[in-house]
């Protein structure tokens, strides 16, 4: 009888979340038996050292379980929030699309969509709890996921609250407003936890306000420091790159995605969004720092250590918020601490992550036509002839970019950086000829699509080593690489696909109910490796069955 009781208790452990605690040391190591932060670890590489699933047995990969979302104020939901209780189900598709990468800690997956958060058993897909936030509004375009500190979870809401939950029960600990909804901020990033700091940012469609990064205390939610993405007054560093204080204070530069972190340098790396007005720059002459930039912030003070601006004086909505991937590699035969980014503007950049010095700048897509060359700092030189005009001008890439938010991957075994790209043209029409245009200031119309590509880039040179072309779709899709000599991503035909990362050969694929909508992840649990991915409103988990 005692043996039976012990056996039954073991089966129930995942359901009661016993012993739940995130060891912060896991955040600095490649993910194996956990996936404790948005990119798996602080580096942003999305590379796993696991190899139980490998190129030899991937053809035997089988579905382990499926979980489909139940969103809103369901009978079992734990309800919080500042807004009214909604009448009927939400009609915004962003609410029911999994763009977050679930955290996996101690056998439990934690993930979120706008206004919702869940814990599910990573072994079976069984729901453990569901939290629902009553929103006051905001744009519900997507939510990138959660952060974790010990037993506490953190996620952002579209109406700009940072919410902390108890990981064991899903009950709310506190919530703090991080931005004013009336100013048209809305919040999408996954918080990143570094030590006792919870790092958050926002998005915003009007972009008529300045962006920022904040560090919060995980216990109380109190603000520890705040860094604005542009200067706020004359005399501030960077103010010389704006014409006046009005342009700065309405300058945009949102921080849509989580960043990466170097524990040795104690620097947090993150990209910033485009300036405002979006598609015309006549009222904001200058480079408009620190919009469309990769920045390094001191984790203790929030002060700027260095910056690199891939798109000075951007007029095409080319946010630089794509994941800044940290690589310990070589340039010219010398070991370097590097940062690589596949940028929305169509270029691939490699920087020294201690100093911000540019080392590599190379084009990613063949259709790109907006730059005249590269300057001495490694920045593209914009062609004034590609600014929006009243008759219209043909530009590639369009505002959606050569790539976008879905995470890339770096495989240290192949030395290749992998990213999903899109080759497309748009016509840009100037619609607001006022000296101080508002909002976008121009209109964009699609003018031709040449398909998407999965690209493997040599980080030392920026050259594309191989690419897989999707003639009828594709483009930016989240990527995972593993020591099993595998690359997992999605195509445009609702498949999860395994490629050989060395040469791009297709090794396996599985049909899903929707396109892959997040970054795939993998982890070891009870001696078995799982591969988990989101597609629309459903999580799928695969394993090689004995």
pLDDT of 331-348, one tens digit each? Answer: 999 999 999 999 999 999
DSSP H or E run through 373: strand 371-374
Residue 420's pLDDT band, with cuts at 50, 70 and 90, is very high
Higher per-residue confidence, 490 vs 13: 490
- Is 60 exceeded by the pLDDT of residue 361? yes
102: which DSSP letter? P
* Structure confidence at residue 175 as a pLDDT band (50, 70, 90): very high
> Considering the chain, what is the average pLDDT of its residues?
93
- Predicted confidence at residue 206, as pLDDT, reads 61
pLDDT at 2 > cutoff 50: no
**pLDDT value at residue 207:** 62
Q: What is the pLDDT of residue 17?
A: 42
CA 116 – CA 96 distance, rounded (Å): 9
Q: How far from 458 is each of 49, 435, 471, 507, CA to CA, in Å?
A: 20, 44, 23, 22
Q: Average pLDDT, stretch 210-235?
A: 97
pLDDT of residue 475: 78
Q: Of 360, 353, 308, which is closest to residue 331 (Cα–Cα)?
A: 360
* pLDDT band at residue 13 under the 50/70/90 scheme: very low
d(CA 392, CA 401): 18
Task: Identify the pLDDT of residue 419.
Answer: 98
Over 50: is that where the pLDDT of 170 sits? yes
Q: What is the pTM of this model?
A: 0.95
Q: Which of 60-64, 80-84, 204-208 has the lowest mean pLDDT?
A: 204-208
Task: Decide: 148 and 105 in contact? Cβ < 8 Å.
Answer: yes
| Sign, CA torsion 357/363/364/370 | positive
- pLDDT given at position 89: 72
* Rounded Cα distance, 461 and 492, in Å: 29
pLDDT tens digits, residue range 30-57?
888 999 999 999 999 999 999 999 999 9
Nearest to 353 by CA among 262, 463, 460, 462: 262
Considering 41, 159, 262, 317, which one is annotated as catalytic? 317
The answer to whether residue 90 scores a pLDDT higher than 80 is no
Predicted pLDDT of residue 87: 80
Residue keyed to tokens 């990573």: 122
Distance CA 236, CA 240 (A): 8
Write down the number of H helices and E strands in the chain: 2, 39
Give catalytic status of residue 317 as yes or no. yes
Rg, C-alpha atoms of the chain:
22
Percent of the chain with pLDDT over 70: 96
Q: What secondary structure letter does DSSP report for 320?
A: -
Mean pLDDT across the stretch 66-74? 94
pLDDT given for residue 188 in this prediction: 94
- pLDDT tens-digit series, residues 474-518: 778 999 999 999 999 999 899 999 999 999 999 999 999 999 999
């Amino acid at each position: 009888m005692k043996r039976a009781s012990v056996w039954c208790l073991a089966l129930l452990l995942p359901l009661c979340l016993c012993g739940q605690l995130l060891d912060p040391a896991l955040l600095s190591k490649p993910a194996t038996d956990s996936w404790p932060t948005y990119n798996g670890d602080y580096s942003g590489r999305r590379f796993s050292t696991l190899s139980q699933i490998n190129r030899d047995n991937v053809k035997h990969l089988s579905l382990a379980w499926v979980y489909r979302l139940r969103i809103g104020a369901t009978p079992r939901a734990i309800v919080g929030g500042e807004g009214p209780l909604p009448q009927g189900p939400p009609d915004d598709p962003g609410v029911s699309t999994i763009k977050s990468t679930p955290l996996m800690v101690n056998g439990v997956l934690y993930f979120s969509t706008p206004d919702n958060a869940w814990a599910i058993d990573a072994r079976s897909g069984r729901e453990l709890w569901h939290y629902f936030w009553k929103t006051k509004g905001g744009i519900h375009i997507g939510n990138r996921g959660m952060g974790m500190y010990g037993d506490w979870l953190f996620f952002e809401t579209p109406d700009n609250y940072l919410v902390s939950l108890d990981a064991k029960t899903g009950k709310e600990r506190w919530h703090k407003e991080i931005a004013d909804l009336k100013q048209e901020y809305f919040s999408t990033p996954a918080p990143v936890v570094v030590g006792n700091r919870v790092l958050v940012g926002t998005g915003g469609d009007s972009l008529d306000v300045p962006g920022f990064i904040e560090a919060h205390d995980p216990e109380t939610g109190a603000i520890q420091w705040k860094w604005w993405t542009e200067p706020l007054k004359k005399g501030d560093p960077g103010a010389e790159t704006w014409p006046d204080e009005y342009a700065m204070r309405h300058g945009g530069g949102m921080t849509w995605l989580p960043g990466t972190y170097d524990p040795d340098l104690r620097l947090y790396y993150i990209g910033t969004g485009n300036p405002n007005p979006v598609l015309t720059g006549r009222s904001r002459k200058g480079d408009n720092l620190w919009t469309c930039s990769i920045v390094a912030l001191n984790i203790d003070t929030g002060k700027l250590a260095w910056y690199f601006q891939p798109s000075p004086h951007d007029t095409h909505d080319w946010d630089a918020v794509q994941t800044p991937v940290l690589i310990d590699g070589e340039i010219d035969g010398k070991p370097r601490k590097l940062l690589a980014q596949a940028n929305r503007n169509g270029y691939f950049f490699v920087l020294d992550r201690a100093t911000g010095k540019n080392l590599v700048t190379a084009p990613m897509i063949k259709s790109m036509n907006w730059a005249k060359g590269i300057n001495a700092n490694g920045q593209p030189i914009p062609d004034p002839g590609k600014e929006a005009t009243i008759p219209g001008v043909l530009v590639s890439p369009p505002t959606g970019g050569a790539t976008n938010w879905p995470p890339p991957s770096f495989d240290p075994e192949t030395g290749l950086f992998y990213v999903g790209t899109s080759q497309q043209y748009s016509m840009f029409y100037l619609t607001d000829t006022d000296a101080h245009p508002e909002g976008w200031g121009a209109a964009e119309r699609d003018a031709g699509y040449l398909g998407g590509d999965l690209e493997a880039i040599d980080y030392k040179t920026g050259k594309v080593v191989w690419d897989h072309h999707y003639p009828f779709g594709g483009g930016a899709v989240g990527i995972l690489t593993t020591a099993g000599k595998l690359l997992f991503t999605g195509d445009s035909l609702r498949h999860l696909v395994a490629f050989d990362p060395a040469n791009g050969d297709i090794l396996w694929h599985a049909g899903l109910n929707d396109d892959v909508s997040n970054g795939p992840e993998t982890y070891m649990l009870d001696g078995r490796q799982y591969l988990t991915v989101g597609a629309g409103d459903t999580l799928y988990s695969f394993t090689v069955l004995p």
